[in-house]
Structure 1
Amino acid sequence: MTDKPFQPASRAAPSPVSIGDAAPLADRSGDRVLIPPVAQAPERPPSDIVWSLGGQTMGTTWNARLIAPPGADKAAFQSAIEAELAEIVRLFSPWERGSEISRFNAAPQGVWAVSQAFWDFLDAAMDLGDETNGAVDPTLGALVDLWGFGPPGPRSPLLPTPEDEEIVAALKVSGWQKLRLNRDARAVMQMGGMKLDFSALAKGHAVDRVSDRLMAMGATSHLVEIGGELKGRGVKPDAQPWWAEIERLADSPAPRTVVALHELAVATSGDYRRAFEHQGRLYPHTIDGSTGQPVDNGLASVSVLHAQALRADAYATALTVMGPYDGPEFAEGLGLAAHFVQRTDRGLVERMTPAWRAMMDDDTA
């Protein structure tokens, strides 16, 4: 076996890896292919052994394909992934009454010390709130519950939408600018009634944590997926990258798109994922903290590619909240690779940032 790194795979790529509910492709004819820039040839995987693992977590499914190092124990990898995901749930799931986030949300007014892991994640979420001017906001739990997307469950069909007074009351205990952190004490101020919600971040964070755990265990080539958020590292034994299909609306004007997830994550936010319809209007689960209501700006889906799954997840949500005009402008300013599909009177219209377009294969641009 040579110690030389693998050479990059040909741009004429085979069908993508199918993960979760993604339908396998018979061929790539007519597909759009995205290839991220690669600074240097990827290193050889640790072996030729490819394992597929999976399970349930966070109200959805997880899947992992990994190239195991020689002598590795498959059960140990399964257990390690499950341990990482269980820790995410223990810290950040509002559906678990004993989780750290649930304890904070139920706490009376006061200053409460939190664990280091909770603090680090909340601090990162607050930074994203600052960066996006609240388009990512970890304090909207009261509004999420009010609209029927939180642990209390859906609203009654007799009263599917909240009254204005209810929205105003929930807004009073929401807003990332109202949350106070005591860094010296590693403590968070509960103003009374504020509810944290990390639904725009948790899956991406979990993908990153699982990926880092696999790296630490010697599986330096792998593809991780949780509820549609994916991250790929390294390459497969045949030197091909991990191929994945971008989530796509049935009537989208964009062709079927596959991306080489080499040191790259992808996340998609869509108004079709969790939503309800009332009097002809669609109410998606993404809440705009500036209005206290589900977004209603015409964006049907936003996909983002980023090295960190956490940021891909967060930016997909933020760009959805920003809308079809401010969202692309913000994304271009940051150099994000992002793709937008907007509902218009003319039907679905797509838009992509220069960084997204730059990844497109010459034959599919």
Structure 2
Amino acid sequence: MTTLSGPTMGTTWTVKLVAPRDADVARLQRGIQAEVDRVVAQMSTYEADSDLSRFNRAPAGTWQELPPEFFDVLDHALALAHDSGGAYDPTVGPLVNLWGFGPGAREHKVPADADIQAARARLGWDRIRLDRERRRALQPGGVYVDLSAIAKGFGTDQVARYLERDGVQDYLVDISGELRAHGTRPGGAPWQVAIEKPGAASGAVERGDQVWRVLALKDRSIATSGDYRHFFEDAGRSYSHHIDPRTGRPVEHRIASVTTVAGDCMDADAMGTTIMVLGAEAGLAFAERRGAAVLILLHDGDGFVERTTPAFVALLVEAALPLPRE
């Protein structure tokens, strides 16, 4: 097995693969890095010259031509915003920044109510118009798009597509806990992915001491969102980085983490954020209507209880199944 890795999106990517005999591993490394760099160049709010930053700065009423990848992700994000009734909102950026979870150094503190309302006034996923024929998006004025809840999953998918174009059929792509698997491990065994208990270093890894569940992952993706990833405390109270665009404030549900399994990692990534905002009951109902495979862990005293959709139950592997060893 060959393992490659590199930097991206403020974290790292890792790819484990079974390389064809004639594979140029160094070229694969460069190709993977180019794929994730392209996603950053198009969709990062941290890069002032990204296509997304250019869109966010564009004058009101102007149509902005977008690269194909950026256009497709925005199209997907707007569709999910519509389907979720705005629980997922790609224009939530002003609130994310206000609460100190966006680009740049910001103090983590609870904003004033007036500032929250002012930021909410800039939201409006339904004000963005798309011109699919020319791959353009209308900047209606003041709208600030943040694709952080979907771009990492899309980047994972892009790496997977690149590998398959290059003849690699057996791989596991991981961008900071957003994973996509194809084919099998050396020897023909399926890729096994552990879902860690909330509070561990990452939400989905190949092995770990704090395993909640183990899945056999083949030709699918998995992503985990959690309230333990990014948060701050103020006056003894914890505030999650998951902002409810409908209230302008961090979510206050009992959800500790949401794990979603889907064909595309972009879908799994965005679904987790949506459910974190909707809450357990509404989130499960939303996932079941879409036939999504979802595991929700809820805080329960000092431990956790799980809620699952029927599609997720079908994917479960016995938790005691030993993790593969190299």
Q: TM-score, normalised by structure 2?
A: 0.90
CA 1:81–1:331 in structure 2 vs 1: closer, same or farther (change >3 Å)? same
3-state DSSP class of the match of 2:186? coil
> Take 2:180 and 2:13, find their aligned partners in 1: how far apart are those partners?
12
Alignment of 1:28-67 (within 5 A): 50-67=1-18
CA 1:65–1:336 in structure 2 vs 1: closer, same or farther (change >3 Å)? same
Please tell me whether residue 298 in structure 1 is matched to residue 254 in structure 2: yes
Please tell me whether residue 76 in structure 1 is matched to residue 32 in structure 2: no
1:326-351 CA distances to partner (integer Å, 9 max, x unpaired)? Answer: 11122222222111111245753221
1:298/1:342 contact within 8 Å kept: yes
> Take 1:148 and 1:231, find their aligned partners in 2: how far apart are those partners?
30
Q: Which amino acid aligns with 1:143?
A: L
Tell me what 2:89 maps to: 137
Please tell me whether residue 126 in structure 1 is matched to residue 78 in structure 2: yes
1:52-84 CA distances to partner (integer Å, 9 max, x unpaired)? Answer: 000110001110011112211111000000000
| Structure 1 residue 256 displacement after superposition | 2.8
Number of corresponding residues: 312
1:51/1:65 contact within 8 Å kept: yes
1:313-335 CA distances to partner (integer Å, 9 max, x unpaired)? Answer: 01111111110211112222222
> Take 2:211 and 2:56, find their aligned partners in 1: how far apart are those partners?
43
Please tell me whether residue 189 in structure 1 is matched to residue 138 in structure 2: yes
CA 1:305–1:208 in structure 2 vs 1: closer, same or farther (change >3 Å)? same
Q: TM-score, normalised by structure 1?
A: 0.81
Residue 69 of structure 2, aligned match among 117, 127, 151: 117
The structure with the larger Rg is 1
1:109-168 CA distances to partner (integer Å, 9 max, x unpaired)? Answer: 22132223322221111111122222221111111111111113332x5xx111111111
2:45/2:103 contact within 8 Å kept: yes
CA 1:324–1:96 in structure 2 vs 1: closer, same or farther (change >3 Å)? same
Task: List alignment gaps of at least 5 residues for structure 1.
Answer: 1-49
Q: Which amino acid aligns with 2:212?
A: R
3-state DSSP class of the match of 1:201? helix
Please tell me whether residue 239 in structure 1 is matched to residue 195 in structure 2: no
| Structure 1 residue 364 displacement after superposition | 6.5
> Take 2:270 and 2:36, find their aligned partners in 1: how far apart are those partners?
19
| Structure 1 residue 217 displacement after superposition | 0.1
Tell me what 1:352 maps to: 308
> Take 2:179 and 2:14, find their aligned partners in 1: how far apart are those partners?
9
Alignment of 1:273-312 (within 5 A): 273-312=229-268
> Take 1:169 and 1:57, find their aligned partners in 2: how far apart are those partners?
32
> Take 1:125 and 1:113, find their aligned partners in 2: how far apart are those partners?
17
Residue 177 of structure 1, aligned match among 120, 126, 130: 126
> Take 2:199 and 2:72, find their aligned partners in 1: how far apart are those partners?
38
Backbone CA RMSD of aligned residues: 2.1
CA 1:57–1:255 in structure 2 vs 1: closer, same or farther (change >3 Å)? closer
> Take 1:91 and 1:359, find their aligned partners in 2: how far apart are those partners?
34
1:285/1:294 contact within 8 Å kept: yes
Residue 47 of structure 2, aligned match among 76, 91, 96: 96
CA 1:362–1:168 in structure 2 vs 1: closer, same or farther (change >3 Å)? closer
1:271/1:299 contact within 8 Å kept: yes
2:7/2:13 contact within 8 Å kept: yes
> Take 2:95 and 2:102, find their aligned partners in 1: how far apart are those partners?
9
3-state DSSP class of the match of 2:196? coil
Tell me what 1:6 maps to: none
Alignment of 1:197-236 (within 5 A): 197-236=146-185
1:138/1:197 contact within 8 Å kept: yes
> Take 1:225 and 1:186, find their aligned partners in 2: how far apart are those partners?
29
Please tell me whether residue 259 in structure 1 is matched to residue 208 in structure 2: no
> Take 2:183 and 2:302, find their aligned partners in 1: how far apart are those partners?
42
2:43/2:51 contact within 8 Å kept: yes
2:215/2:317 contact within 8 Å kept: no
> Take 1:361 and 1:227, find their aligned partners in 2: how far apart are those partners?
23
3-state DSSP class of the match of 1:328? helix
Tell me what 2:112 maps to: 163
Q: Which amino acid aligns with 1:334?
A: R
